[in-house]
A and B are shown apart, each in its own frame.
Chain A
Amino acid sequence: AQKVTQAQTEISVVEKEDVTLDCVYETRDTTYYLFWYKQPPSGELVFLIRRNSFDEQNEISGRYSWNFQKSTSSFNFTITASQVVDSAVYFCALTGGYQGAQKLVFGQGTRLTINP
């Protein structure tokens, strides 16, 4: 069975601090995909990144960066120089999925609050 664990339920930091959101996953699939989604107070789910199991390169997009380590089954997300607009709930998700049946398994989410 697949499982995603986000051990940090809530994080609160002051603006401009760096913050890392942890994600640990479990899967028996050899091919799988990992995701991060952002859910702002308005409620919609905003896709941030997708990473497949064969690509362990870290990725940076502006102030966002992701560290994928297969050896520790982790896919952590770092926000550099956080801003108030980064306040949201962040979800890590996993899918294996073959032949078009690719349900997403989500972690419990981390509520991030950036204080001015």
Chain B
Amino acid sequence: DSGVTQTPKHLITATGQRVTLRCSPRSGDLSVYWYQQSLDQGLQFLIQYYNGEERAKGNILERFSAQQFPDLHSELNLSSLELGDSALYFCASSVPKGSSGRSSYNEQFFGPGTRLTVL
């Protein structure tokens, strides 16, 4: 158990709908990363938040947005869903409170993922 939780575990919805995926990082971790694993794109980085602020952005569609709240949990919002958005969405956390976030490397701990199916 990595200590990172994601809800829900499975989500089935229809095209055009909007969903919210939730991630609770490990206790004390300040940084949250979102990744998408789809059949055609593989595993790719979407976005990173650090202590409430966006830190890095990857191949995230404009229909997708994320935020990190003061309690450090994060939500990934997916809107106007298309069939191609069906994927496994992972959240990872790193950088414990008290560290500068500028060390050589901060281990990423992955959650179990949310499997989204768009019908």
Contacts and interface: CB of A to CB of B under 8 A. Distances in A.
Interface of A: 31, 33, 43-45, 47, 50, 52, 91, 95, 97-109
Most chain A CB neighbours (cut-off 10 Å) among B42, B50, B94, B112: B42
B33 A98 contact: no
Interface in B8-45: 31, 33, 35, 42-45
Majority SS of interface residues in chain A?
loop
Contacts of B35: 104
A108 B42 CA distance: 6
Contacts, number: 60
Contacts of A91: 43
Interface residues of B, number: 30
Nearest to B99: A100
B102 A98 contact: yes
Interface string B80-119: 0000000010101011000011101111111011010000
A67 B101 CA distance: 29
Contacts of A100: 31, 50, 55, 94-95, 100-102, 106
A104 B45 contact: yes
Nearest to B34: A103
A44 B112 contact: yes
Contacts of A97: 105
Contacts of B105: 33, 50, 52, 95, 97, 102
A66 B82 CA distance: 40
